[in-house]
Structure 1
Amino acid sequence: MTEQGYPWPAGAATGVGSLPGTDPGEALRVVFGELPDLPYLPELPDRGPGAELLGRTAGLLAELPVELYAARWRIAARPGRDLRRTRDLLERDLDQLVEVAEGYTGTLKVAVGGPYTLAAGLELPSGGAVLRDAGALRDLTASLAEGVAGHVADVAARVPGARVLLQLDEPSLPAVLAGRVRTESGFGSYRPVAEPDAVETLRTVLAAAGVPALVHCCAADVPVGVVRAAGAAAVAVDTALLPSDAAGLDVWGEALDAGLGLFAGAVPATASRGADAAAADEVRRFWHRLGLPAGRLPEQMVLTQACGLVGAGPEQARAALRYARDAARRIADEPDVR
């Protein structure tokens, strides 16, 4: 923790998840070069199945093997080549992390898919998403919790000076809570998950990690109350999707006033010159609308991109990371400029 009580340095910026390209060493050098205060282990989906969020996380599951079937991930009867490839890709990433992060002693962020995004995207052997079966969802949650704990411990052992911060990616969470996840046929939807059940499921995974964690959701209607109740230290969002109505602002104001951190995705993937100033201004305006003390903003907030950068070109992605860093430093220098 910092002096302010948050597990990241004041005035920090970081990345959300994915980057373009197929070279993990080069991606990590870019990340550590552009985001020295809060680097992260990026995903490189351009390498194919097993390198994207769903496959990468499925490869962490304990005693729950997965396989590709008709270009979709599903629970398998036994480990096979798809699972081996997924784990091999992550192993290469971690080997490169050891090399690039040698001597690093700050906070290091790692990301995995959350239980509901995994349950909505991972299929049962008999067909249909894991989300349809309450028992299967419980098994998946327990398996993910064990796998995430092992992953965090592995990263901490490989970079012994670092303080690991976990990011739980849950883009499907709002749809799961609202009953908007479509069935395999496309003609129906899975029943909604009750908020207390969602809190307990998220808490199971977050607690198992044993390190500070945030929940990232780049969708509208982020359930900030659920995230807060589950024990997350912060919520990461696309700031363009933050509410502007009084009721929505009240919910966010209450959560942030109580100390929940904000990873503000204010830099678009297609950012151009001046994006740092625009992002800083956007975050300051939102903070001011909530009526929160300006002095708390640099320590409670981290600047990020709106979402992953896999669709951007290499130079564009690097620029987006740099704009986030520069925006965070603007806010640290002048948190109350309007």
Structure 2
Amino acid sequence: MRATGIGSFPGDTQRDFDEALAVVVGELAGEHGLPFVPEVPGRGAAAGMIGRTVGLLGELDADLQPAGWRLTGTSGAPAVDQRRARSLLAQDLDAVEEQTEDYRGGFKTQLTGPWTLAATVERPRGDRVLADHGARRDLAQALAAAVTDHVADLRRRLPGAAPLVVQLDEPALPAVLAGSVPTASGFGRHRTVHPPEASEALGWVLGAVRDAGAEPWVHCCAPDAPLTLLRGAGARGLAVDLGLVPAGGHDVLAEALEAGDSVVLGVVPTSEPSAPPTEKSVVEGVLRWLDLVGLDLEQVAGSLLVAPTCGLAEAGGAWARRALGLAASAARSLGEGR
């Protein structure tokens, strides 16, 4: 049984990133943890989930506008903001490489998935990429190519990482499927993307992760997460907020575990509640869920992970550390049968 985190931490400086990385490595490096590359989006748009991923898109240029990231073409001459995002990620990975020297074990990184990118990033002439079938296809394919290069870079930096996990964050996917993403004007909604197209684009990116030798996971903590679609597209790991799993979703998670795929149960609050959970209550919650779906802990312990319900960027620094530590201690207790 292992613990991990979804990705983000509070803070707004490089020192905050270094401290977040120290917490991640300190809590999760070991038999019962899956460390990851933390994100500290408070440092600016280049450090956020969208900016980090846009920075990796070698086949597409982008710049930063008041409304957010915008594609600008395929000249191969990225604007200063995209170069800044690339440089900041390289700096973060330098720190990861330094703090994990001689590390052996699993390691995770996170990127924004193709549909959340399409619902967030603008086309050169305005409105979201989501509005244009060809543009969203090009964006997904560019992301697939970027993933290949990113995994190769991580392999070089973390030669002892096995398995290497790439988590695609898709918080906007349910809205994309429901046709509820607002247009730039705010007066309309983008058309629904039907499941076959959504699955195909995800499949390109998840397949690129797999072909690069890493495990493809998807995180979606929004209500109505399309878990069956994600598995069908090639996700070999599903990360969810356990309190938001849709009707029928618990059976999908159980099927994934029985098939040997990974499931990350988000069970620790991302902001400090008035009555914080204890290690015992987290452990009991996981055991109750296993009983609900008819699975034995010993049977699935190698594939089941516990984590905070979502990213910790909006948490206070003290709670972010405590939340990750709570997930780690619960995983140790479950793994050791205490």
Distance 1:278 1:108 in 2: 27
* Further displaced range: 15-24 or 149-158: 15-24
* Cα contact 1:113–1:170 (8 A) shared by 2: yes
Q: 2:47 aligns with which of 51, 59, 68?
A: 51
Q: State whether structure 2 residue 163 is matched by structure 1 residue 170.
A: no
Q: Match of 2:100?
A: 101
Describe the superposition over 1:174-211 as per-residue Cα deviations: whole angstroms up to 9, x where unpaired: 11111111111222211111212222111110111221
Gaps of 5+ in 2: none
* 1:59 counterpart SS class: helix
Q: Match of 1:188?
A: 188
Q: Match of 1:68?
A: 64
Identify if the C-alpha distance between structure 1 residues 306 and 185 changes in structure 2 by more than 3 Å, giving closer, same or farther.
same
* 1:108 counterpart SS class: strand
Distance 2:250 2:327 in 1: 24
Give me the identity figure in percent.
46
Q: 1:26 aligns with which of 5, 14, 19?
A: 19
Normalising by structure 1, we get a TM-score of: 0.91
What letter corresponds to residue 276 of structure 1 in structure 2?
A: E
Task: State the shift of 1:248 in Å.
Answer: 4.5
* Cα contact 1:224–1:255 (8 A) shared by 2: no
CA RMSD in angstroms comes to: 1.7
Task: State the shift of 1:251 in Å.
Answer: 4.1
Distance 1:96 1:30 in 2: 13
Task: State the shift of 1:253 in Å.
Answer: 3.9
Matches within 5 A, 1:288-307: 288-307=291-310
- Residue correspondences, number: 323
What letter corresponds to residue 29 of structure 1 in structure 2?
A: A
Task: State the shift of 1:256 in Å.
Answer: 3.8
Distance 1:328 1:49 in 2: 33
* 2:174 counterpart SS class: helix
* Further displaced range: 70-79 or 269-278: 269-278
What letter corresponds to residue 265 of structure 2 in structure 1?
A: A
Task: State the shift of 1:275 in Å.
Answer: 3.1
Describe the superposition over 1:39-68 as per-residue Cα deviations: whole angstroms up to 9, x where unpaired: 100111111111000111111112201111
* Cα contact 1:218–1:306 (8 A) shared by 2: yes
What letter corresponds to residue 298 of structure 2 in structure 1?
A: G
What letter corresponds to residue 90 of structure 2 in structure 1?
A: E
Gaps of 5+ in 1: 1-10
Distance 1:108 1:252 in 2: 22
